Structure 1
Amino acid sequence: MAYQRDSALFFPPLPRSYKKHIVFQIIGAAVVIFVWYNLNGGFLPKFLVPRMPYFNFGPEIGCLVFFNVDNDASKIQWARAANDKKSVTDAISNPAIHMIGGDIVLRGHGTKSQSLEPVMARPPKIDSDITFKEWLELVGTGNKGIKIHLHSMESVEISLQILKEFHEQKPIKSPVWIHADVLQGPHGDKPVIDFERFYKTLMRLFPKCTLSLGWTTGTHTDLSQSSYSWEMVWDMLDLVQSHEEEISDHLLVFQARLSLIHNSVPQLKWLKDNTQHSSIMIWHEDGDISANEDVMYTAYRFPPDLIYYDLNHERLQRLLSQYRHMSREKVHELVLRRDEVMFKPQGWLKMGFHRQKNSILASTEAIILVNPIVHIVSKSKYLPTPEIYIQGRVTFFNRKNREAEAHHTGLNIYVRPTEYTMFDKIVGIRCFIGAGGELEVTGSNLPSKIPSFRKTARMTPSFSNCYRFRITDERTHLSFAVKALHHCTVLESVEPDEELVALLHVELPKGLEGEKQHPFILRMEDNNREGLIDELSIKHKG
């Protein structure tokens, strides 16, 4: 009894009204949770779902989550071209394999006897000892992920319908990648898969998957100049962004061939940086000659969770496994040289019409200025002095197929700007590089009390439409050095040129005081070209 009396002192009985209050709170909370769950289709808010695609466990689950490989995509092991019964059963029984890949065509592909039955074969093969249905029965219910590569437009709808029906009967719990080559790549043929038809069919029949996209490729006796060009990766970005709302909550992978990587890493990194939830897959084709340094280059430039490897090559795989996290020791010396001149987006501000779609496409690899209504301004300001200069490279593209206007179509680099909130009223010194090789230094919207000045030069442009520039504001005069480059994509183009020769020395008029600090500004002059700027930096001599 004493114990009960003592307990009552510490835990006095609750009033009846208070008990009712607690009951009503519990009921109210339950109602709120019930309504929330039904409105959102789950406990996770809808606005977070596109940002967290891994929460839906099924064929759309990411490989890194499903296989728990310490967030290192290089640890995912692939069984490629498992297109016959023996290859499939060997891959299933191999504990080291995570993902099993297969190729699909219609039986008799491209012949008069072509049927409507998808089989596992990679062209030029057109038949197999296993159909896609049989293949799914073997690989679709286990703990391996699957990747299917569609090789003909005729096989897309039939194959995806089979996949859908299989998943409805035997739900797939492991990752499913669906791949198609949708653009023409280096030395490749015109793609047989139409992206729009492929994508619409995929979204209708089997939208919950990892979408894998690639370029057709080929080989050549000399690949030293070959690459996934800026135009190629830009075309891929256009395809993805044409369905931005639908793709935004999908895991996305871009496939690239190892033998074509040497000159392609900046382009692929830029593509990855400008797409959501995307990764890169590097694959090695049997018979290709690939350098160890190229494997290390990709490992060095991409974080471990953003790049997969399907090498199918013992030496390359061993190299990757051993040096994946020490890749800096194995890269080409020019890769480290490029580190010194890489663009630093955090050092620049975007100004103008901020909502203009794709007005600026930025990455540590490069920045693309698409139109003149948006410009970039350096965050830091500088005093005019011979010890400081701005340098970089610009490559002009003509994706709108427009005629260039002499002394008008090109890139403006503004020195000593004082007003720059309006793109068409930037006040300062304008240094212009024309797409046709024209150079010009002149005042831009300067007060009438300052004497006008203009000095021009011209150079022969190269087929690459690429120019290296350096501008030094030396207080009393300005030095403008420009050189047309024959190659701007190859890794070797990062090698320092012989000293750039100043083509224009401009004496600056009185009234342009050089005692204040100013930023640098870059802007396209018109809509007739797009400008890709890389190796952009502000340097201090010595």
Structure 2
Amino acid sequence: MMGGAHLVASGIKRRLIIIIMKFEISISDYGREMRATRMSVVDFWKNETKGDGLNVRVAHGVNSWPDLVDQLHEPFLNKSMMIEGDVFMQAHRRPRHRAVPVMKADTKIADRITFKEWLREVATMHKAIKINFRSNEVVRPVLQDLYANQADPTSPVLQYPVILHANVFRSPRSVENEVDPLTFVEKAKTLFPDATLSLGWTKQSNFSHLHPKFKKLNWRQLFHILEYISRLDQPVMLSVRLSVAAHSKEQLLWLLGMDQSISLLLWSDSDDHITNWTPIIELRRSTTKNRILYDLDPKHRKFLQTESNDPIVTPPTFSLQDWQAVEFSSSGSQLSTVVRSEKGPAFLGEPTALLLSKIAPPKFPSEQKVSGKVHFLPKKGVESVDLDDNSGVSIYLMDKVQDIDSPKIKNSLEVFIGFDGRIKITNGELKNAPYYETKAIGQLPDSDCYGFEVTDSGWRVQLDAWTAECGEQKGRSRRTVTIELDTPFQKSRNLRNVVVSKKGDSAVDFLLEELQHSGASSVMFSSILLLLMIYFL
């Protein structure tokens, strides 16, 4: 009996231990969930800034004990909204001393503050926190400290937004090493997904003497940025120099129009000389102005404060609600997808993604149109490589989109615009109608951008394509080429569903600007009369 009682007691004890462990784990998970700071600084400051990021005040380089004390006693009218600290790995001469993250204080200060100490102090100041990562080595230990802080019920609660910033893109004439973007983004996503991720460019020497071409963000660079941010669920901030933003308005507006939480931090110093303020003012007055924060030199801030910030309402050139993205898996390591923005979708990498129009096709004798502008962007370094002649944008007109099971669509009517100016319309379903022509082809002059309009009348498809200007490119003469092809009627008398896809290989990406699908255009009276005449003959 004694042995049996002992076994029963042992079993109860083991079960109690298991229950207690499960309870502790659930409490830990619950605490982490309740202590999360998943909020972008833009949303957090919406009331304090009155919808204008120019009202943000940042405390730079708060890296020492005296700096922290100053933050506690700063005047109310000059009170900062965000505390910024720079963290790096402390090197020790003696190998037995383990390197720890510390704040980058003045060399005259002998007692450096560790990151853990810094975090404990700033967590009680009720401000947003910006942590600048200055090396690859510091990424993992700092993120581990942040993870542990959120999971530990005894640590100060990080109730306010946390921004994790790293200069991950290398600038011309850089004076510092960039932080590896893949390491930074992946570790942050895994260890501290509640933060806002901030990406920037390395510091430069003699910025004012740089060639103007290095003072802008082009589309190819923007696509490179998308490789790191397009898959993130957490808020993302891009830190951009004011001079660069002045020459990159279209690219920045495209980023702000993405269907995810993207914001900008525009900063400047005495080396920024702005000769044309119009793009900056238009950025500020855009409908997304509350998603742009400013950390400016006093002279630049003063100028913007004198300018009107009344909103400019510009309708989107691409309806996110009217197009559905469908993605298939890719065997390659590069990003292969379609990234959507209110300024138009971008097709990147291998042709593994489709855009399906949600607009129901009209019934015959109505017609439908698909129009837009395609901007082709061959990847850097592929000019000397033989590009796939089939690389371009394809617009499929399909009877049933439910039958799509891969990105390679067959047996469908296809309208194609190639990067080299080749255009064609192909009848993909002619098994029961051999008397129709299989295709119509044409050729446009070489250009990086082409405008197009596809008209589907049910019995005929017409493509109008022309050379178009790219961005600030001016003075190019427009030349239009028109091709058409008679097509079989649909049995349902409905016109076809619209699907847009990338074709070819990964060497050529493209941006579709002003992509629109009008699904119920009226037909002219003469066309209806012609149909009636055909019917009675």
Q: TM-score range by the shorter chain?
A: 0.5 to 0.7
Give the secondary-structure state (helix, strand or coil) at the position aligned to 1:346. coil
State yes or no: 1:505 paired with 2:480.
Answer: no
Aligned residues of 2:85 and 2:103 also touching (Cα < 8 A): no
Deviations 1:494-533 (A, max 9, x none): x8986x4332333x44856998644543222344444321
CA contact (8 A) 1:296 1:327 kept: no
**Amino acid of the structure 2 residue aligned with 1:260:** V
| 2:225 alignment partner in structure 1 | 236
CA distance in 2, matches of 1:475, 1:238: 39
Matches within 5 A, 1:126-165: 127=107, 129=109, 133=113, 136=118, 141-154=124-137, 156=139
Q: Name the SS for the 2:80 alignment partner.
A: coil
1:24 is matched with which residue? Answer: none
1:89-120 CA-to-partner distances (Å, cap 9, x unmatched) read 66551433111324456799xxxxxx989553
Matching residue within 364, 372, 375 for 2:342? 364
Question: Alpha-carbon deviations, 1:418-443, whole Å to 9, x = none?
Answer: 34444555666432111222222332
Alignment of 1:175-190 (within 5 A): 175-184=161-170
* Change beyond 3 A, Cα 1:159–1:368: closer
**Structure 1 residue aligned with 2:283, among 298, 304, 315?**
298
- Confirm whether residue 467 of structure 1 aligns to residue 450 of structure 2: yes
Letter in 2 for 1:227: K
Q: Is the 1:133–1:162 Cα contact (8 Å) retained in structure 2?
A: no
SS of residue matched to 2:113? helix
Letter of the 2:356 counterpart: I
Closer/same/farther in 2, CA of residues 479 and 461 from structure 1, 3 Å limit: same
**Cα distance between partner residues in 2 of 1:61 and 1:258:** 25
Give, as a single letter, the amino acid of the residue that structure 2 aligns with 1:410: G
Task: Give yes or no for contact 2:339–2:347 (8 Å, CA) kept in 1.
Answer: yes
Cα distance change on mapping 1:253 and 1:519 into 2, 3 Å: same
CA contact (8 A) 2:372 2:512 kept: yes
Q: 1:350 to 1:455 in 2, by over 3 A?
A: same
* Alignment RMSD (CA, Å): 5.2
Per-residue displacement from partner, 1:352-377 (whole Å, max 9, x unpaired)? 85999964321212213452563423
For residues 329-340 of structure 1, what are the structure 2 equivalents within 5 Å? 336=314, 339=315
- Percent of residue pairs identical: 19
Q: Counterparts of 1:10-409 in structure 2 under 5 Å?
A: 40-41=26-27, 55-56=34-35, 63=41, 64-65=43-44, 69=48, 72=51, 74=53, 75-81=55-61, 92=72, 93-95=74-76, 96-104=79-87, 118=102, 120=104, 127=107, 129=109, 133=113, 136=118, 141-154=124-137, 156=139, 171=156, 173=158, 174-184=160-170, 191-198=177-184, 209-216=195-202, 219=207, 223=212, 227-240=216-229, 248=233, 250-262=234-246, 264-265=248-249, 267-268=251-252, 270-271=254-255, 277-290=261-274, 291-301=276-286, 303=288, 306-313=291-298, 315-316=300-301, 319=304, 323-324=308-309, 326-328=310-312, 336=314, 339=315, 342-350=317-325, 359-370=337-348, 371=351, 374-377=354-357, 379-381=359-361, 389-397=369-377, 403-406=386-389, 408-409=390-391
Cα gap change, 1:189/1:271 in structure 2, threshold over 3 Å: closer, same or farther?
A: farther
1:277–1:478 CA distance, 2 compared to 1 (3 A): closer
Task: Kindly indicate whether the alpha-carbon contact (under 8 Å) linking 2:36 and 2:194 is maintained by their aligned counterparts in 1.
Answer: no
1:69 is matched by which residue type in structure 2? E
1:273-293 Cα distance to aligned partner (Å, 9 max, x none):
667555332223333134543
In 1, are the aligned partners of 2:388 and 2:504 still within 8 Å (CA)?
no
Q: Report deviation, 1:311.
A: 2.4
User: Which position in structure 1 is the counterpart of 2:96?
Assistant: none
> Counterparts of 1:203 and 1:375 in 2: how far apart (Å)?
27
**1:419–1:165 distance in 2 versus 1, CA, 3 Å:** closer
Q: Which residue of 2 aligns with 1:410?
A: 392
Distance 2:111 2:31 in 1: 41
Partner of 1:458: 443
2:212 & 2:255 partners in 1: Cα distance? 22
Question: When the two structures are superposed, what TM-score results if normalisation uses the length of structure 2?
Answer: 0.66
Kept in 2, the 8 Å contact 1:429–1:443? The answer is yes
Aligned length: 467
- Relative distance call for 1:472 and 1:128 in structure 2 (3 A) is farther
Q: 1:221 to 1:384 in 2, by over 3 A?
A: farther
Q: Is the 8 A contact 1:360 1:374 kept in 2?
A: yes
Residues of 2 paired with 1:158 and 1:279: CA distance? Answer: 27
AA partner of residue 510 (structure 2): G
- Alignment CA distance shift 1:256-1:373 (3 Å): closer
Q: Confirm or deny: 8 A CA contact 2:287 2:311 kept in the other structure.
A: no
Higher mean C-alpha displacement, 191-200 vs 350-359: 350-359
1:420 and 1:426 in contact (8 A); partners too:
no
**8 Å Cα contact 1:438-1:457 kept in structure 2:** yes
> How many Å apart are 1:392 and its aligned residue?
1.2
Distance 1:207 1:389 in 2: 43
| TM superposition shift of 1:317 | 5.8
Unaligned 5+ segments in structure 1 are 1-33, 50-54, 109-114, 330-335
TM-score normalised per structure 1: 0.66
8 A Cα contact 1:255 1:281, kept in partner: yes
